Amino acid sequence: MMGFSYPTIVRMFEDERGVIILNRPTKMNKRRYRSIRIPRAVYERVRRRYEVT
């Protein structure tokens, strides 16, 4: 929604209060999967912070 890549969005939101990060543990020869859940209130708060006026 913001026009940034997935890694950029994760970096922007990973330390925000209220964001849920789901990690699948790494196993032999399998890469790590990570999902991020951003509630609308958190999204709006961060979007306002990065908004250009």
pLDDT digits (tens, 9 = 90+) for 7-53: 888 888 989 999 998 888 777 777 778 888 999 999 999 989 888 87
Distance between CA atoms of 12 and 47, rounded to whole angstroms?
Answer: 10
Query: What does the pLDDT read at residue 52?
Result: 81
**What does the pLDDT read at residue 16?**
93
Q: Give the CB-side neighbour count of residue 12, counting CA atoms within 13 A.
A: 19
Q: What is the pTM of this model?
A: 0.69
In this prediction, residue 1 has a pLDDT band, given cuts at 50, 70 and 90, of low
